[in-house]
Structure 1
Amino acid sequence: MVYISTVYLLCIILYCNDDMFASCFKLPGLLPACPVRVLFPDPGFRLGDAPRSPPSTSHGRKTMAHFLWPEPLSGAQLKRLEEHKYSASGRSLFEPPCQIYWNWLVQQIPTWIAPNTLTIVGLLVNILSTVVLVYYCPTATEEAPSWAFILSALGLFIYQSLDAIDGKQARRTNSSSPLGELFDHGCDAVSTVFVAVGTCISCGVGIFPNWMFFCGFIGMFMFFCAHWQTYVSGTLRFGLVDVTEVQIAIIIMYFMAAFGGVSIWQTTLPIIGLKLYVFPIMGIVGGALYSCHNYFYVILNGGVGKNGSTVADTSVLSPGLHIGLILTMAFIIFKKSSSQLFENHPCLYLLAFGMVISKISNKLVVAHMTKSELYLPDTAFIGPGLLVLNQYFNSFINEHIVLWIAMVLSLVDLTRYCTGVCLQIASHLRIRVFSITPPSSAHRD
């Protein structure tokens, strides 16, 4: 009981007062401003993205609004956000023909619908359709009804379509803003988690826990790396085979599972003697190697900042600490679990850790757009930390229960951070998140 009470109290303190947590990790800057900083950042860790003074009441306490929706960005970050310009390069194989459809589709959307509304509707459809699959296939080994796979295919197609035209709608309605770019990438971070889980279910890879772990986390890792190289180079780069091609392939896999059942992947092909599930796994491995080569070629060849550093003049390797820590924790918990936690609850496991990766991916996007340092200590690690602590104490509490607690904490933390950032930026720019702001109300310098 002492252990439970201590951990619970620690979580409340850290979650409600991240500045207190940050102060525990503040260290003096030890590294001079020289090329060494490119690889080893100043270890002045703290929570959040910058020093800030939270809103307070006359008694010096945080208001309820700030507790629910914090204001993570400083005034300097908001100023740099205003100056941010979107930069992207490259075009994938399927993009030109898809542009014909997307250009037609955006013309069917009323001009009073805000771009962010399109994005969030697509995300919700994608999430709900995947949740249906998880309900029927919690271990990614069961057979779901055909309509559930068709629903997931349609959900992903709708998300892809709306996600592709939100920028077009913004330009069409003259409502482009840094908030729109951030909102788009933030929704992509969450969608990646659910698409990864849905893909694993459609292939039935739950019977191979190691492959399930790899296939589930590699997509989230690739998304983080895409924005890692953007943080380094200042430009979001698209390859010949990119997100559009991957989404189309996954939609096809959903339809194969719908009309052939998940068992179709256990079919042995004549002549070559390989089972069908080998091909999506090979595609995932090949795609990961191809993407990693492209991303790390950019990352390791230096950035656009001083002495080849990032846009924020920090180490090009610094974001690796975040994704490396969460993946290490996920792997250790997977392998050390006495109750085979991942094997018995793979989808919940991926969703719980996926919320954490979504949070740090969102913080990376914010760091890029505001040209700010990405700090390691974060409330996002509380959920995984509880799982690690529970294992350290020989699973004193049922691991399934702790996993659910970690899932809820991580989801609340992600929602709290993203909502706070969006509301803060919208307030600063004097725009609305889900409706188009009249020109007379827009922010101007």
Structure 2
Amino acid sequence: MGYISATALDNLKKYSYKGVDKSPLSKYVLNPFWTWFVTLWPLSVAPNTITLSGLSIVFLNFATMLLYDPTYLAEKGGVISPRWLYFSWSIGLFLYQSFDAIDGKQARRTGMAGPLGEMFDHGCDAMNTTLEVILASQALNLGRSWWTVASQMATLAAFYLTTWEEYHTGQLYLGVFSGPVEGILLIVGIYAVTGFYGPSFWDTGILTFLRLTDVPLVNQLPDMPLNDSFMTFSAFAVLFNLQASYRNVRRAMLAAGKSTTQPLLLLLPFIVSASIQVFWLMHPRYDNSVLINSALFVPFLCAWGLQFAHQVGRMILAHVTSSPFPWWDWMWVWSLVAAVDANLPLLAGRPPVIQTCETNRAAVVYLTLAISLVAYGRFCTLVIQDITNFMGIACFTVRKRDKDGVWQDTAPTSDGKKKL
């Protein structure tokens, strides 16, 4: 029919969502709240509308960051943002989590649960991931630094692992501590603390903060800043998620009588794509500038995030359509050419051919951002079009079948009933 093959579309009929959430916080605190919160939404509101509304709030938060700190320097660069900004990010992220949690409940209320909802939900989550990395790094006063790059890699890796695990096991598994639940609430708390004390608070040494600088033996440890300590904790969290995800995948492969090592090869696409981006950032200084220390750092991260969203979007599509795992992405070639060009002083002892000055460098980065946006936008548009046409549904409209089996728009009437 278009982007998705006819065979893959037929497999949509066999798809059913499966998920496991072992978080006590979800079970005893958040889920009761979400169950109540979804009742505030009319049945005429489509689940995907709720999902997109949550992402729109994050876009608004991101826009306020660009307004008050357009060069992404935070307080290390002398930029003092108003404190209400961070409180608004805290509220915005909590609302995003809530909207993201109830869209599935709304889908079941309206009879619209299906593969399109999962595709749309994961697509929004993928975009939110990079945006929150940028916002959280600014709130932690990391700004233009390799810690921000490390945060981007760790967060994207966690998302990739979850998607990779779901592809092989057939279900979304959330443990007792997961990114979508506890991880998001942790960031919500970071925004709130920054709202009270400012980003520079996170430069306080962890021993100083805990008042352990006078404790024998303990005071021999490095007084690592709180923001660096948080990044170190995140690295261990990624390693924990890796072994947990592989344990679940291995169990599923053994049950199916398949190889337990072959799935590990499917981690290579993320390693390759992330390595290309880091290689580009690691270029030697030329023209008195490096990319990571310039105002182009945020557009670069956004382009990287869009390419990642495209990558995991194709993984989810492969999952819901029982299609082969996507190994290759043509955007790798574009980014690799740019990375090699930037590193020509190191590789060939000569200046770059394309990125010869700050203006050309900006043109390449913004062109990469534009191409990444168009590529991901095209993917989303074609996939939504194929699925909605095949299944006879709409993306942002609640639809029901009439007595003849024809899909019709529905809307609530004054007496609370629905009319066709």
**TM-score w.r.t. structure 1 length?**
0.78
Question: Which SS does the other structure have where 1:372 is aligned?
Answer: coil
Cα distance in 1 for partners of 2:181, 2:321 equals: 27
Cα 1:82–1:140, aligned 2, differ >3 Å: closer, same or farther? farther
Whether 2:64 is the aligned partner of 1:114: answer: no
How do 1:7-18 residues align onto structure 2 when only pairs under 5 Å count?
none
Cα distance in 1 for partners of 2:182, 2:400 equals: 37
8 Å CA contact 2:16–2:114 kept in 1: the answer is no
Of the structure 1 ranges 318-327 and 102-111, higher mean CA displacement relative to structure 2 is found in 318-327
User: Which 5+ residue runs of structure 1 have no aligned equivalent?
Assistant: 1-53, 55-70
How do 1:7-46 residues align onto structure 2 when only pairs under 5 Å count?
none
State the match for 2:300 in structure 1.
349
1:132 Cα deviation after fit: 2.0
Cα distance in 2 for partners of 1:192, 1:102 equals: 21
1:436 Cα deviation after fit: 0.6
1:140 Cα deviation after fit: 4.5
Question: Which SS does the other structure have where 1:438 is aligned?
Answer: strand
State the match for 1:80 in structure 2.
11
Cα 1:380–1:437, aligned 2, differ >3 Å: closer, same or farther? farther
Of the structure 1 ranges 372-381 and 252-261, higher mean CA displacement relative to structure 2 is found in 372-381
State the match for 2:236 in structure 1.
286
Whether 2:124 is the aligned partner of 1:191: answer: no
1:184 Cα deviation after fit: 1.0
Tell me which amino acid in the other structure corresponds to 2:114. Answer: S
Cα 1:365–1:304, aligned 2, differ >3 Å: closer, same or farther? farther
Q: Which whole-Å deviations, capped at 9, do the CAs of 1:97-132 have from their partners, x for residues lacking one?
A: 101111111111011000000001111111221232
Cα distance in 1 for partners of 2:26, 2:118 equals: 19
Q: Which whole-Å deviations, capped at 9, do the CAs of 1:32-82 have from their partners, x for residues lacking one?
A: xxxxxxxxxxxxxxxxxxxxxx7xxxxxxxxxxxxxxxx321000001112
Cα 1:95–1:321, aligned 2, differ >3 Å: closer, same or farther? same
8 Å CA contact 1:387–1:406 kept in 2: the answer is no
Whether 2:212 is the aligned partner of 1:271: answer: yes
8 Å CA contact 1:134–1:347 kept in 2: the answer is no
Cα 1:161–1:84, aligned 2, differ >3 Å: closer, same or farther? same
State the match for 1:174 in structure 2.
111
**TM-score w.r.t. structure 2 length?**
0.82
State the match for 1:130 in structure 2.
62
Cα distance in 1 for partners of 2:255, 2:291 equals: 43
Cα distance in 2 for partners of 1:295, 1:74 equals: 30
Cα 1:309–1:356, aligned 2, differ >3 Å: closer, same or farther? farther
Cα distance in 1 for partners of 2:267, 2:95 equals: 32
1:383 Cα deviation after fit: 4.3
Tell me which amino acid in the other structure corresponds to 2:401. Answer: P
Superposition RMSD in Å: 2.3
1:289 Cα deviation after fit: 2.1
State the match for 2:175 in structure 1.
239
Tell me which amino acid in the other structure corresponds to 2:212. Answer: I
State the match for 1:365 in structure 2.
316
1:238 Cα deviation after fit: 0.7
Q: How many residues align?
A: 370
Give 4+ residue runs of structure 1 displaced > 4 Å after superposition. Answer: 304-307
Whether 2:371 is the aligned partner of 1:438: answer: no
Of the structure 1 ranges 81-90 and 221-230, higher mean CA displacement relative to structure 2 is found in 81-90
Cα distance in 2 for partners of 1:309, 1:144 equals: 53
State the match for 1:319 in structure 2.
266
